[in-house]
Amino acid sequence: MAKRLIILSLATTFLAVGCVAFPEDGGYYNGAYDDRYDRDYDRVYGSSYDYRYELERDRQRWEYQQRQNHLELERKKRVSERRQWEQNRQKQFEWERKKREQQHLLEQRKRIAEQRRNNQSGWNHQKREIERKRAEQQRKKVQIRQLHKVQEKRRDHRRDSNHREHQQRER
């Protein structure tokens, strides 16, 4: 008995549901019948209906979709190009910044080397100046000594001459 009851309920279910479209058929949308999937629903039937209008509408819909796709591709292309341009600009900016930094470091090194040369040459110049003054002082000392010696010799010579004269007078 239970088997008969189950079979009867299943048969009733399939017969009752068979009158209504299954969701997989595409006729139902959110619990209501959608006429987008049934071209002949709620239209005038007969041989006078011209399907060229539907074909035209389909073509227009297809063209519209193609335009939309093309516009979307163009937009994506512009975004991509803009992004690429920004990246290139950023790379160019970084390259120029690094180049300026390298140039600045090079100039700084040149200035430091020039200062060292100047300091070295200034130091060498000061050293030479000190050596020249020292040599000049040495020459002056030597000249003064020689002058003193000459003067001493003259004095000695005068003394000797005075002494000789004095001795000759005494004789």
Between 3 and 90, the higher pLDDT residue:
90
Give the ranges where the chain is alpha helix by DSSP (H). Answer: 2-17, 52-170
pLDDT tens for residues 19-56? 555 555 555 555 555 555 555 555 555 556 667 778 88
Looking at the domain assignment, is residue 43 inside a domain? yes
Q: According to the model, what pLDDT value does residue 47 have? A: 55
147 within some domain: no
Assess contact for 23 and 34: CB atoms under 8 A: no
Question: Structural domain tally of the chain?
Answer: 1
pLDDT band at 120 (very low <50, low <70, confident <90, very high): confident
Residue 31 lies in a domain: yes
Domain that holds residue 34: 10-49
Q: Among 7-11, 98-102, 167-171, which is the least confidently predicted range?
A: 167-171
Residue 84 lies in a domain: no
| Angle at CA of residue 24, ends 19 and 27, nearest 5° | 60
Structure tokens given for 63: 């063209």
